[in-house]
Structure 1
Amino acid sequence: MILAVYKIFIREWKRILTLPVHYVVLLVVPVIICTIYALIYNNKFAQDLPVAVWDESHSPLSRQFTFMLEETESIHFTRQVNSYAEIESLMKKGEILAAIHFPPGMDNDIKSRHPTTVTLYANAASLVTSKLIYKDAAQVIITAGSGVILQKFVKKGMPSGQAMSLVLPVNLHSWVLYNPRYDYQAYLVPGLIAVALQMMIIMVAILTLNYERNTGTMEELREQAGGSASVVIMGKSLAHLSVAWVNYLLVTCIMFPIFANGLLATNWPLFVMYTLLAIACIGVGMLVSSIFNDVMLACDIGLFYTSPAFVFSGFTFPRWGMPWFDQYYAQLMPFTPFLDSLFKVYFMKLPLLYCYKEMGHLLIFIVLTFPVAIIVFQRRLNKLAVQHA
């Protein structure tokens, strides 16, 4: 049986290297997709976002605030405006993403400890950039405003410690963990590449069995496997798993060192979870391929199944915030448990022990899909043998 599996393995590799529907999707497209995704987010951070300033204070303090805001990573003042209408017009034209308004008499209000309002107008249609601008602006305004009051107390002779306790009675220290600089490339690219690889593995696996009939090689496959569906599926699955490993090495040993300054090939937990993802995807593809003889119908089912994986996985919106039926649908795709494990082993650098639930979830896909695929495909081989008897 081992020799028969090996023959099917070699035979499948030859098909992968000679059939365009195989080698284009498995060996050419991953290189293109990885490069495109990496280049899209090559800047890593959202920096120097265009912001306008509306200064009605015209004071040394407002100019100091403006200078401090300009020194942040996300804010870059590109326009000076004189009205809300002008702010709205520039946002609609896409020339600015936010605007800061310093009200008249701001200096006197702050120094006399009267309430004053510095307004941030942010274009929340761009959700991520507006939050980044708000984070930097809030930090500067609160810190700088408190500093002005602190200086006033100290000049009046109050001890600095007592002055600090009046200005900031509660100290808040925030620590942003695992992606402290909000690196787009480090966060988005691994997930995008993983979901693309899931789609490619499943779509090609869908063609592994029923495409044999289109190429007129089904009888040859049956004879070489000795009429055993388990030999066929095992040999083909090992071939496609080895291709998945090639793509893993491409991503971890070439793409990430070039674009993300990190070598991930030594991340053993990530490799284990990726391997389980690949086997689960191959199992899903084999199951669909064994059930549906029509290649186009099988591919349509595969596209319908894999296309929403990124949306439902919780990568951009938490699954607990989705309707219950969407949460259940998300669990029907191998990418969902893999993504949960990706956060643990890639971002948080946790050992594999923390991924036992995700491993169990992926093993369920494997245990359910391969036996059913073998049973269904064995019936097809038996019918083929009767026809050629």
Structure 2
Amino acid sequence: MLVVPAVLFTFYAFIYQKQEAKHLAFAIWDDDQSAISRQLTFLLEQKESLNITRRVYSEEEVKRLINEGKILGAVHFPANLQKNIYSRHPSTVTLYTNAASLVPAKMIYKAVAEVIITGSTGVVLQKLVKTGMKADQAMALANPIKLNAYQLYNATYNYQEYLVPGLITVSMQMILIISCMLALNYEWKTETMEELYHCSNGSVINVIVGKTIAHLVVSWINFILIAFVVFPYFDIGVPSATGKFFVIYTFLSLACIGIGMFISALFKDVMLSGDVALFYTSPAFVFSGFTFPRWAMPWYDQYYALIMPYTAFLDGFFKLYYMNLPLKYAQGDLIKLLIFCAVMFPTAILLFRRQFNLVFDEKKEAKLID
């Protein structure tokens, strides 16, 4: 609870230190060798996401270099590209990408598509101007519809800004549940259950509340580490949303502690409870919808996602932290986390009371024997 989070959070943040995928190795295959193909190549060189490292001369060479990991994509300008354009015949430019690297492939496509669209518009514009048309009229014909794109909440597609908070918070769910699944049953392993019985005056509620407060305080210490050390150091997040982040983080912590207490009360065997906790928490990041929308998953996976508190937390976290919306927008997500608490804590109390009663019965039996 104290050592692992500090190491893990820093490790995650350093993975994405470069923040954006830039200077992706790229190749040019130019069979036209014309003024237009050279101009398009020049425009591609100006793209920050691309790094033109090679000239290639066949499709086999493109595939070989991609398979060897030396390039992530290539573009082919066909022979007679300029001639076809000037004679008003369509011409096809081919883009090769390594779709096994999904994100780089999409970034390469985006960069090349922008250049080809710009180049195509420029060619049409030149032809219209040469006919004697005014520049503004020619632009209206060559590019009749303008697109204004606004990227909200992560305008630069910053991986560190986007992924690190998600990885850190899902790690906190796992750490809290795994640590809390030892909160009760570990007393049997260390043979301190009778001592716990005396310390709590035989009250199960005192045990659950006391251990919950202890874990929650340590969870808040980790929040301080996240919000006031890791995020500021790596320039992550929205400082003005820290208060709302704390609210939903506390709800997540309580839900995870409740689940951990439930597992700990349900299984007396420490190894078995550890296996259950790992099985339950491991797929949280995948099923939460952080990297793939939940609505696109099979219906049974969507239901499985709902039984993990991180799913509700993530929905609220996006609204409160990334979008910096008022708390009322995450009201439904906070209620879902409260439901976890309302179900898990009372259930843990009922299950653990049986174990406490066993201690009391053993003590009573021992007195009778005496």
Alignment of 1:3-82 (within 5 A): 26-82=1-57
Give the counterpart letter for 1:267 in structure 2: T
Helix, strand or coil: the match of 1:175? coil
Give the counterpart letter for 1:378 in structure 2: R
The answer for the alignment partner of 1:241 in structure 2 is 216
Helix, strand or coil: the match of 1:388? helix
The answer for the alignment partner of 1:270 in structure 2 is 245
Give the counterpart letter for 2:186 in structure 1: Y
Of stretches 204-213 and 260-269 in structure 1, the one that deviates more from structure 2 is 260-269
Q: Where does the alignment leave 5 or more consecutive residues of structure 1 unmatched?
A: 1-25
- TM-score (normalizing by structure 1): 0.91
The answer for the alignment partner of 1:289 in structure 2 is 264
The CA deviation at 1:31 is 1.0
Q: Which of 127, 150, 160 matches 2:135?
A: 160
Q: Which of 76, 79, 93 matches 1:101?
A: 76
Q: Distance in 1 between matches of 2:74 and 2:314?
A: 37
Q: Where does the alignment leave 5 or more consecutive residues of structure 2 unmatched?
A: 365-370
Residues 266, 159 of structure 1: CA spacing in aligned structure 2 closer, same or farther, 3 A cutoff? Answer: closer
Helix, strand or coil: the match of 1:52? strand
Q: Does 1:318 align with 2:268?
A: no
The CA deviation at 1:109 is 2.4
Helix, strand or coil: the match of 2:161? helix
Give the counterpart letter for 2:357 in structure 1: N
Q: Distance in 2 between matches of 1:360 and 1:113?
A: 62
Q: Does 1:125 align with 2:96?
A: no
The answer for the alignment partner of 2:188 in structure 1 is 213
Q: Deviations over 1:259-292 (max 9, x none)?
A: 2355648521111111000000000000110111
- Percent of paired sites with the same residue: 52
Give the counterpart letter for 2:37 in structure 1: S
- RMSD (Å), alpha carbons: 1.3
Q: Answer yes or no: is the 8 Å Cα contact 2:238–2:322 preserved in 1.
A: no
Give the counterpart letter for 1:338 in structure 2: F
Q: Deviations over 1:329-351 (max 9, x none)?
A: 00000110111112111221111
Higher relative CO (Cα under 8 Å, sequence separation at least 6) belongs to 1
Q: Answer yes or no: is the 8 Å Cα contact 2:161–2:237 preserved in 1.
A: no
The answer for the alignment partner of 2:367 in structure 1 is none
Q: Distance in 2 between matches of 1:216 and 1:263?
A: 47
Q: Distance in 2 between matches of 1:266 and 1:89?
A: 48
Give the counterpart letter for 1:75 in structure 2: L
Q: Deviations over 1:139-173 (max 9, x none)?
A: 11101221122122123320222211221122222
Q: Distance in 2 between matches of 1:179 and 1:109?
A: 41
Residues 112, 163 of structure 1: CA spacing in aligned structure 2 closer, same or farther, 3 A cutoff? Answer: farther
Q: Distance in 1 between matches of 2:181 and 2:23?
A: 46
The answer for the alignment partner of 2:337 in structure 1 is 362
The answer for the alignment partner of 1:184 in structure 2 is 159
The answer for the alignment partner of 2:368 in structure 1 is none
Tell me how many residue pairs correspond in the alignment. 364
The CA deviation at 1:359 is 0.7
Q: Deviations over 1:153-208 (max 9, x none)?
A: 12332022221122112222222211121111111111111111100100000000
The CA deviation at 1:68 is 1.1
Q: Answer yes or no: is the 8 Å Cα contact 1:113–1:149 preserved in 2.
A: no
Dislocated runs of 4+, deviation >2 Å: 108-114, 260-266
Q: Does 1:250 align with 2:225?
A: yes
Q: Answer yes or no: is the 8 Å Cα contact 2:241–2:324 preserved in 1.
A: no
